[in-house]
């Protein structure tokens, strides 16, 4: 059975997380402002800064591609925020896959972009 004190500690921990979200968002915005930008169609993109994503060994090529893109999106979102973390908005996308020992590994790189 969970004690009242444990519930209080959990509530305090959750409250701290909500207090950190604005600080994380502010840091992500500051990180994005650091890089020179250029316009590509209707998007604003980093001029030369790329991000990378690599999948772990995967049984299918399709799964490895999705895992590599997810890695790219997760890191880019963490560093610059949701607006920059969509692989479908990125420019200069490159994705390559190789198969060894029955598993697929895919690697991707792209320059982050945001709409607007």
Q: Which residue has the higher pLDDT, 48 or 56?
A: 56
What is the rounded distance in angstroms from the CA atom of residue 99 to the CA atom of residue 85?
A: 27
Supply the range of the domain harboring residue 91: 35-115
Q: Which residue has the higher pLDDT, 96 or 20?
A: 96
Q: Is the pLDDT of residue 92 over 50?
A: yes
18 pLDDT more than 70: no
Residue 96 belongs to a domain = yes
Q: How far apart are CA 104 and CA 106, in angstroms?
A: 7
How many domains does the chain contain in total? 1
Mean of pLDDT values over 88-97: 97
Answer yes or no: are the C-beta atoms of 109 and 52 closer than 8 Å.
Answer: yes
Residue 9 domain-assigned? no
Determine the pLDDT at residue 33: 80
pLDDT bracket for residue 2 (50, 70, 90): low
Q: Do the Cβ atoms of 54 and 106 come closer than 8 Å? A: yes
């Amino acid at each position: 059975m969970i004690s009242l004190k444990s519930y209080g500690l959990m509530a305090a921990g959750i409250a701290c997380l909500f207090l950190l979200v604005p600080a994380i968002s502010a840091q992500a915005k500051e990180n994005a402002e650091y890089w020179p930008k250029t316009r590509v169609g209707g998007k604003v993109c980093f001029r030369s800064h790329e991000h990378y994503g690599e999948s772990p060994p995967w049984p299918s090529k399709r799964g490895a591609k999705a895992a590599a893109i997810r890695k790219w999106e997760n890191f880019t979102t963490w560093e610059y925020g949701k607006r920059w973390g969509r692989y479908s908005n990125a420019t200069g996308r490159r994705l390559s896959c190789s198969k060894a020992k029955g598993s697929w590994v895919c690697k991707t790189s792209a320059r982050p972009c945001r709409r607007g």
